Structure 1
Amino acid sequence: MKVVVTSSADIGNAVRRARKAAGLTQDVLSAAAGVGPRFVVELEGGKSSLQLDKVLAVLSVLKLSVTVCDDAEA
């Protein structure tokens, strides 16, 4: 899956799709990532003020990564 992220909602939608494709509940994902269930709910909901290290932990469980590149490369 490749997603160009321009908002917190884009990340949330990508996390939700990947979680469902992996057959995980929000509770199982949160436990595997070491975050609270509410964090996953807020992340999937597009909350914009979440801790980056926790977002990266959730992405890691889902085998997703973040790549930063010039707009010309996107």
Structure 2
Amino acid sequence: MQIPISNAAAIGKVVRASRKAQGIRQDDAAGSMGVSENFLGKVERGADSVHWGKLFQVLEGLGIRLIVDVPEQVARHLPHASPDESTP
């Protein structure tokens, strides 16, 4: 299912819903992803300022793939994606 993301709060809702759907407590999820419970709480609340690297740890830990839909004219200016950046 594709969900439009227009702000941090939208990502936070997806993260929280994913964690709850998997039946994982916030503290357990944070520990298994290598982030603090405080950080995970900020993500779930949609804090405007979070560390990008840690955010991607959280997304990966919950099995969330982030895909950016860009216009073709923009895509033509992007370097070719490396194998681990491409979509299956």
What TM-score do the two structures reach when normalised by structure 1?
0.90
For 1:65 and 1:31, the matched residues in 2 are separated by: 20
Seen in structure 2, the aligned counterparts of structure 1 residues 70 and 21 have a Cα distance that, compared at 3 Å, is same
Give the structure 1 partner of residue 42 of structure 2. 42
> Where do 4+ consecutive residues of structure 1 move more than 3 Å?
none
Which runs of 5 or more structure 2 residues have no equivalent in the other structure? 73-88
Which runs of 5 or more structure 1 residues have no equivalent in the other structure? none
Seen in structure 2, the aligned counterparts of structure 1 residues 68 and 31 have a Cα distance that, compared at 3 Å, is same
Structure number with higher relative contact order (C-alpha < 8 Å, ≥ 6 residues apart): 1
Higher helix share: 1
Q: CA RMSD in A?
A: 1.4
Seen in structure 2, the aligned counterparts of structure 1 residues 71 and 18 have a Cα distance that, compared at 3 Å, is farther
Give the structure 1 partner of residue 17 of structure 2. 17
For 1:20 and 1:29, the matched residues in 2 are separated by: 10
Seen in structure 2, the aligned counterparts of structure 1 residues 71 and 9 have a Cα distance that, compared at 3 Å, is farther
Matched-pair identity in %:
32
2:52 paired with 1:52:
yes
Greater gyration radius = 2
Give the structure 2 partner of residue 68 of structure 1. 68
How many residue pairs were aligned? 72
